[in-house]
Structure 1
Amino acid sequence: MTLTLRKVFHVSAFGWYAFVVNCLALKDGEELPPGIFVYGGPWKYLTFLNLLLQMCFFGLAALSDLQEKSESFLSRCKDLLFSVFVFPVGMFVVLLFWVIFTYDRELVYPATIDAFFPPWMNHAMHTFVLPVLLGEVLLQPHVYPKRKHAITALSVVGVAYLSWIIWVYLSVGIWVYPLLGYFSSAGLVFFFFFNMMVVTSLYVLGDKLNSFLWSEVDRNKRTPVKSRKSGL
C-alpha cells in the first residue's frame, strides 16, 4: 500500500510541477508588468529554478519507482538530489518569500505582478512546495551524504546563483529582487551569508527529520540511518 501510494505521489507531484512550469512558459511573449524585466528571462528567479528542480526530482523519483532494486544508481541520485538541494532549497524559497512578503511585499513581489500571475500561481510557486516536500519526507526515507560534502555542494550552487544575479545587475542596473537595492555592499555580503546559513540549517533539518521518522524502520531492518550515510 505504501509503495503504491509513493508511486502515485511521485507521478502526481511531477505532473503538478510540469503543469505549473508549462503555465509559466505560456506567458512568454505577454507584456510584462512593472517589477519584471526581460533580461535573463525567468532563469534569474530562484522561484522558477526551484520549480524546475522540484519537477526534475519527482520525475526522477517516478522513474526510480519502476526499478526493483532499491539501491540502484538512479535511487542514489534521487537521494542525493533531494537531500542536498530539493528539500533545503524548496523550504528556503517558501520561508524567505513569505517572511519578506508579510513584512513588505513590494520588496519581493510587487502588487503590479498580481495582474500577471493569478493568486493560485503565486501559491503554486511559493506555498504548495512545502506540503509536497513534507509528503516526500513522510512517504520515503532518503540516504544523506556526509554533511561537509553536502554543505560544500550547497555553497558552490549558492555562489553560482549569487554570481548570476550580480551579473544581471551589472548588465541592466536592476536587481532581480527590489529588496537587494536597499543594502550597502557590506549589507549584501551579510545578507547572502545569512541566507546560506539558513539553507544549511534547512539541510540539517531535513537530515534530522529523515532520521527521526525512519530510524525505527531502519532499526527493524538492522540498517540504522546514520550507518548508511553515503561516502559522497
Structure 2
Amino acid sequence: MTLTLRRVYHVTAFSWYAFVVKSLAAKDGEELPPGIFVYGGPWKYLTFLNLLLQMSFFGLAALNDLHLEKKSETTLSKWKDLLFSVFAFPVGMFVVLLFWSIFAFDRELVYPASIDAFFPPWMNHAMHTFVLPVLLGEVMVQPHVYPQTKHALAALGVVGLAYLSWIIWVYLSVGIWVYPLLGHFSTAGLGGFFVFNMSVVTLFYLLGDKLNSHVWTEFHSRKESKRG
C-alpha cells in the first residue's frame, strides 16, 4: 500500500477513535444507571482503556507516517510496532471476542439492557465491533516488527495483573464489580477466569504475529514474482 493511503488510513482511524472517546467521556456526569461510572468513571472499563490504546496507536502511527527525520522516524516506528503487536492487536481482538461471547450468553453479565437508554447502538458497536475490522485493516496496511515472544508475553502478563488489581481495588473500595459477571466467581474461580483470559490474549498475540508474517511474506513474494 502506498504511503499516501497508509497516512489516510492512520489519520482516519485516529480521528474515529478520538471522536468515540470524546463521545463516551462526555457521558461522565450524566444521570446513568447506578454504578456505571462510580469510582474511576470510565477508566475502570477495559473497553474504554482499549479505545484509548487504539487511539494512541493510530496517533503514533500517523505521526510516524508524517515524520521527516530518519532517526526519529526509526524510534517512532519501533514504538509503533511494539504498541501494535504486544497490546493494540491482542487486547483489541480480546475485547471484541469476550464481549460478544458473553453478550450472546447473557448480556446482563456484561452490558445490562438498562445501558441501552444511555449508549446508542452505534456507540456499542464502536466500542465492541468496529475495533476488529480496523485492526485487520492495519495488518493489511503495513508490516510490523514483532518482539521476542517471551518479552511480549511478559509485558502482557504485567499489564493483565495491573488491570486485575485495579478492578479488585474498585470492588474493595465501593463493593461493585466492574462487570456483573465477576460477582459470580469465587476467589479461585476469579483466578481461573483471569488465567483463561490471559491465555486467550496470548493466542491473539500469536495470531497477530502469524497474520503479519503471512500477509507480508505473500506481498513480498508477489512483488518479487512481478520483477522476475
TM-score norm. by structure 2 comes to: 0.93
Alignment of 1:1-232 (within 5 A): 2-34=2-34, 36-68=36-68, 69=70, 72-217=74-219
Q: Which protein is richer in helix relative to its size?
A: 2
Quickly say closer, same or farther: Cα 1:220–1:119, change in 2 above 3 A. Answer: closer
Following the alignment from structure 2 to structure 1, what is the Cα–Cα distance between the partners of residues 99 and 205?
18
Say whether the 8 Å CA contact 2:28–2:42 is kept in structure 1.
no
Following the alignment from structure 1 to structure 2, what is the Cα–Cα distance between the partners of residues 75 and 218?
20
Q: Give the share of equivalent positions with the same residue, in percent.
A: 79
Higher deviation after alignment, 10-19 or 67-76: 67-76
Secondary structure of the residue that 1:72 maps to in structure 2?
helix
Deviating above 4 A after TM superposition, structure 1's stretches of 4 or more consecutive aligned residues are: 217-222
Following the alignment from structure 2 to structure 1, what is the Cα–Cα distance between the partners of residues 66 and 3?
11
Shift in Å, 1:35: 5.2
Say whether the 8 Å CA contact 1:35–1:112 is kept in structure 2.
no
Structure 2: which 5+ residue stretches go unaligned? Answer: none
Say whether the 8 Å CA contact 2:28–2:37 is kept in structure 1.
no
Say whether the 8 Å CA contact 1:34–1:113 is kept in structure 2.
no
Say whether the 8 Å CA contact 2:51–2:127 is kept in structure 1.
yes
Following the alignment from structure 2 to structure 1, what is the Cα–Cα distance between the partners of residues 182 and 26?
29
Secondary structure of the residue that 2:133 maps to in structure 1?
helix
CA RMSD of aligned residues (A): 1.7
> Structure 1 counterpart of 2:128, which letter?
H
| 1:58-104 residue CA offsets vs partner (Å, 9 max, x unmatched) | 00000000135496100110000000000000000000000000000
> Structure 2 counterpart of 1:89, which letter?
V
Shift in Å, 1:217: 4.2
> Structure 2 counterpart of 1:146, which letter?
Q
- Give the length in aligned residue pairs: 222
Quickly say closer, same or farther: Cα 1:3–1:80, change in 2 above 3 A. Answer: same
| 1:19-63 residue CA offsets vs partner (Å, 9 max, x unmatched) | 001111221210111451411111100000000000010000000
User: Partner residue of 1:229?
Assistant: none
Higher deviation after alignment, 144-153 or 18-27: 18-27
Say whether the 8 Å CA contact 1:94–1:129 is kept in structure 2.
yes
Following the alignment from structure 1 to structure 2, what is the Cα–Cα distance between the partners of residues 72 and 209?
23
Say whether the 8 Å CA contact 1:80–1:145 is kept in structure 2.
yes
